[in-house]
Chains A and B, each alone.
Chain A
Amino acid sequence: MSISIEEIKKPENIVYRRPALLTDNVMHYCPGCSHGTVHKLVAEVIEEMGIQDRTIGISPVGCSVFAYNYIDIDWEEAAHGRAPALATATKRLCPDKYVFTYQGDGDLASIGTAEIIHACSRGENIVVIFINNGIYGMTGGQMAPTTLIGMKTSTTPYGRDPKLNGFPLVIADMISHLDGTAYITRQSVHTAVAARKAKSAIRKAFEYSAKGIGLSFVEIVSTCNSGWKMTPVEANKWMVENMFAKYPIGDIKDVLK
């Protein structure tokens, strides 16, 4: 059976398009970086839920500091690691809004550990999108708390040595023990299937945040092919073979299940 171009172009037949809430700004992210995909998923969820005028994003310090240039909503740009503190006040003072932070692993798991732990502990009704690529991207590829043992970075040039640098910090598992968290999941976006699952998780997190049942946390295990000094394809392969062993994909906690 053949189908005409006019038929294909009908709105009901469009299965993929650019999200309406992604701006026209050229993204500064490196080719192969996971940020662009995750931005797209967040934009799609906000659009599909029809909550653009009720959503406030908090961007971090790190590669995604400029997230506010790409998703067409109101934004606050936080100091390094402090996004959960901004989100706490924003949500408590504007309880009718959907409030989310978007943070990398240097921001959330290193300098911002106090803020994320206590936001979880207080059960703030916010969404946290946590990009974990095991490295500091923006500053040029230094060791993050999430860097794997043996992994080479610009501050662990001979590989992360636990005697010298300690062990990787597994934040999602840690906060799953806190009573204030409602939904904790770990996803990735390296394949179309993975991206679809990640999108469902992000949507669920936004929906949970409106229920007043506590903090929802979506970790996205990501690549940083520039920092890892690999091609995008090699980076995806390396992530699956190495990162997933320490940071396995799947739901960790769901209080409504």
Chain B
Amino acid sequence: MAEKILMKGNEAIAISAIRNGVDGYFGYPITPQSEVMETLMKEKPWETTGMVVLQAESETSSINMLYGGASCGKKVMTSSSSPGVSLMCEGISYIAGAELPCVVVDVMRGGPGLGTIQPSQSDYNQIVKGGGHGDYHNIVIAPASAQDMYDFVDWGFELAFKYRNPVVVLADGIIGQMMEKVEMHPMKPRRTAEEILRDAPWAVTGKPASRERHIITSLSLDADIQEQFNIKLKEKYAMIEANEVRFSEYMTGDAEYIFVAFGCSSRICEAVVDELRAEGIKAGLLRPITLYPFPSGEIARLAAQAKSMMSIELNLGQMVHDVRLAVNGACPVGFYGRQGGNIYTPEEIVAEFKKFNGLA
């Protein structure tokens, strides 16, 4: 049986990076995710796997270190929290524009501005809709447990390299700080130089006389060339939307009332569904695991059987707009949220659910 270790979600990110053959981590301290870099520095992976770990002078610099490392075909990642990720958005846009793979972990906290250091999901719009300038998408995956934090590092790199696209692991302060048992999978070695040439034939590796030079850039001054590139990106995003949607469902089979929630909120909503079921109300939960691509098809399918849907988020109502688009008027769509770093209890959500559905 695989080894299980009790650890924080943030620690799981760090341990997973080492065990999954990540080449480089570049970061800057910010609450509530500083354990990621602290764990890496304590583990000293440069002495074992050869992984580079570097504390940068800013989030701006960390994301541009990712740009440089990813240009070389290396598996590079960073982690931060909301204000830090805002600083990274310029770099993420360049990485999307240069079609480079990387993994960014965003352990969200309350905003806007410096905000709070408590958990929040208020950067859904920022990350799922892009964050930086230009027409692009991040692939966004939302962990709901420390095990997810561990597993999504490797999955994130798989997606990042498959599509040459930045992947954001969109977590929150609860998932980052909560301690849970995490199952360790077998170690994956870092890729060799030959494997990088095979898996990333576009990478900057030093130009031998035998090939043309490789140029990593997001620049084209010609409008027609840029438009062709934008259309190429659109085709890539269509492939991602067709192939990579992931979600999980809880008690939706006969459900008349559907909750939609991601990350920590989906954990809380499982308890909500249990409470309502105990009262004889047929409730169910859809948890989007990928936020981009969004499980619109499954939401539309469930909307056809539902009396109503409710999006439960730790923000003022962001994902609910995507839920409404997917539902497309097939049933009423409600929303309940808490803000500023506060967290709802299941009882609170049950009460709001009854109010919305006239069941009180």
Contacts and interface: CB of A to CB of B under 8 A. Distances in A.
A170 to B, nearest CB: 21
Interface in A73-88: 73-79, 82, 85-88
Interface string B44-67: 000000001010111011101111
Contact of A74 (B67, B76, B205, B218): B205
Indicate the size class of the contact surface on chain B: 35 or more
Contacts of B74: 93
B71 interface: yes
**A78, A79, A114 interface centre (most CB from chain B within 10 Å):** A79
For the residues of A in contact with B, the DSSP-based class is helix
Interface residues of A, number: 31
B214 interface: yes
Given A79-B64, A79-B94, A89 B76 contact: yes
Nearest to A72: B213
B217 interface: yes
A54 interface: yes
Contacts of A40: none
A77 B217 contact: yes
Contact of B56 (A72, A74, A75, A85): A85
A205 B164 CA distance: 34
Contacts of B209: 52-53
Contact of B61 (A68, A74, A85): A85
Interface of B: 23-24, 26, 52, 54, 56-58, 60-62, 64-69, 71-72, 74, 76, 90-91, 94, 98, 204-209, 213-219
5 contacts: A56-B206, A76-B204, A86-B67, A86-B71, A97-B206
By Cβ-Cβ distance, the 10 closest A-B pairs, closest first, are A86-B68, A85-B64, A77-B217, A89-B68, A89-B65, A82-B64, A89-B69, A118-B57, A74-B204, A90-B68
Given A58-B68, A93-B68, 20 more contacts: A54-B206, A56-B72, A56-B206, A68-B217, A72-B207, A73-B206, A74-B206, A75-B215, A75-B217, A77-B218, A79-B91, A85-B60, A86-B67, A89-B52, A90-B69, A93-B52, A94-B72, A114-B57, A114-B58, A115-B61
